[in-house]
């Protein structure tokens, strides 16, 4: 590996990560937050500056661009999302680079009590001598997925400046709201116009994700009976108490995120808001198999029905809607992008890591909508929190992977 793109990748990630582009669950706008346009407009400008073709921001908030084909080959898309996760503070991110990491504990200037240690995160042991990027301790870094953006933009710049490198048509897409499962607009597959695509939104070097969770979102509304507490005997129905009973009746020792791993699914309570007269709960349901996902929905619905029956004066509504589905169901039928990426990873001397990921990507939705889109590594670690970090050398390997995929695809067609 040449590590020829490390400096550019580090510079790009530090510049991008400093821009607040956090998405917001529950927002009714697209994108969910206006600040995501700060990233979208910057990418639009940078793509125009590097002379990409067909650069635009769609009316649903996606930056699209083209690197025209100079030889035969399939049209391939590369995607990354501009939003950062709403689960942790992303305001005033201060990215910093630790050059030539020495293998010890990493401390944080804005939170001296915070420590990133290889004792707790053994994968860090493998990165001695690497340049490591983290935030300052008060925020997440946002390498998820600004590392993916930096990787795609760096590779795009290289291809546009070196038109002698053979490749088919390449389409780039940078979309909002992946972190709240709203990143793929119904118009995107047609507007992208590719045979298949890849998201750069994965972790360890070598990761090739072709199987994700299937996911549903459950929203439970509990309406009690409100009355002055001094006159409440026999009259009040406290919605908070009913909400607590629903939570307590879930199988907390076998079916929550903190006690599951591998191929286990879960029911995860994410929000509880309201008061004694009305409560609103949100749950995310996850399973690798559709029947398992359906069973979890039925279980939650039955618990709500049982609590409702125990207090007929209350009203409890449980609404479940789909979010995304396991991309495996479609990629098993059309494995070409998987086979191409695996060949490219091996050509770089990297061992492919193929395992189901306990989450989802925009590729889950795109694949379901007819554009096979597996997920590729970026190197990001400990995402969605203050201990997030990434190696620029790992990012460099991802940029080389993008270029190798396009090269092999062109060779195969000629």
- Which residues form the catalytic set? 83, 178
Cβ neighbourhood burial of 113 (10 Å; 0-12, 13-18, 19+): exposed
Angle at which helices 36-49 and 143-161 cross, to 10°: 10
Nearest to 193 by CA among 44, 65, 83: 65
Number of residues that this document lists for the chain: 414
Pick from 329, 325, 364: which is nearest to 215 by CA? Answer: 325
Contacts of residue 410, Cβ cutoff 8 Å, sequence gap at least 6: 71, 72, 73, 166, 167, 168
Q: Sort residue 29 into left (φ over 0), alpha (ψ -120 to 50) or beta.
A: beta
The Cα-based distances of 315 to 299, 303, 319, 320, 321 in angstroms read 18, 13, 13, 17, 20
């Amino acid at each position: 590996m040449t590590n020829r793109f490390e400096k550019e990748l580090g510079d790009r990630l530090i510049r991008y990560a400093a821009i607040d582009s956090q998405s917001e669950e529950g927002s009714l706008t697209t994108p969910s937050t206006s600040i995501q346009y700060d990233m979208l407009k910057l990418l639009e400008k940078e793509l125009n500056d590097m002379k990409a073709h067909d650069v635009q921001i769609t009316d649903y908030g996606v930056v699209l661009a083209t690197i025209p084909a100079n030889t035969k080959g399939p049209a391939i898309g590369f995607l990354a999302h501009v939003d950062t996760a709403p689960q942790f503070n992303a305001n005033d991110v201060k990215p910093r680079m630790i050059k030539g990491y020495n293998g010890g504990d990493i401390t944080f200037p804005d939170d001296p009590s915070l420590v990133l240690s290889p004792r707790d995160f053994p994968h860090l042991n493998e990165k001695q001598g690497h340049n490591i990027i983290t935030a300052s301790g008060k925020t997440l870094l946002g390498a998820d997925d600004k590392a993916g953006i930096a990787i795609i933009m760096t590779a795009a710049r290289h291809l546009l400046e070196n038109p002698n490198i053979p490749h088919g048509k390449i389409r780039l897409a940078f979309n909002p709201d992946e972190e709240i499962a709203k990143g793929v607009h119904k118009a995107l597959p047609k507007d992208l116009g590719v045979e298949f695509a890849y998201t750069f939104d994965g972790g360890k070097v070598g990761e090739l994700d072709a199987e994700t969770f299937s996911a549903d979102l459950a929203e439970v509304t509990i309406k009690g009976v409100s009355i002055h507490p001094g006159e409440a005997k026999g009259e009040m129905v406290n919605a908070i108490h009913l909400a607590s009973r629903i939570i307590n009746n879930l199988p907390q020792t076998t079916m929550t995120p903190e006690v599951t791993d591998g191929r286990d699914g879960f029911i995860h309570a994410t929000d509880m808001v309201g008061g004694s007269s009305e409560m609103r709960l949100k749950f995310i349901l996850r399973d690798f198999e559709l029947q398992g996902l359906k069973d979890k929905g039925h279980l939650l619905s039955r618990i709500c029905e049982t609590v409702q029956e125990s207090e007929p004066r209350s009203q409890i509504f449980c609404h479940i809607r789909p979010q995304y589905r396991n991309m495996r169901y479609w990629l098993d039928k059309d494995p070409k992008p998987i086979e191409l990426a695996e060949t490219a990873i091996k050509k770089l001397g990297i061992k492919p890591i193929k395992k189901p990921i306990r989450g989802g990507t925009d590729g889950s939705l795109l694949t379901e909508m007819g554009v096979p889109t597996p997920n590729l590594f970026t190197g990001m670690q400990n995402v969605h929190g203050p201990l997030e970090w990434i190696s620029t050398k790992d990012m460099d390997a991802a940029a080389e992977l993008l270029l190798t995929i396009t090269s092999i695809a062109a060779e195969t067609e000629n």
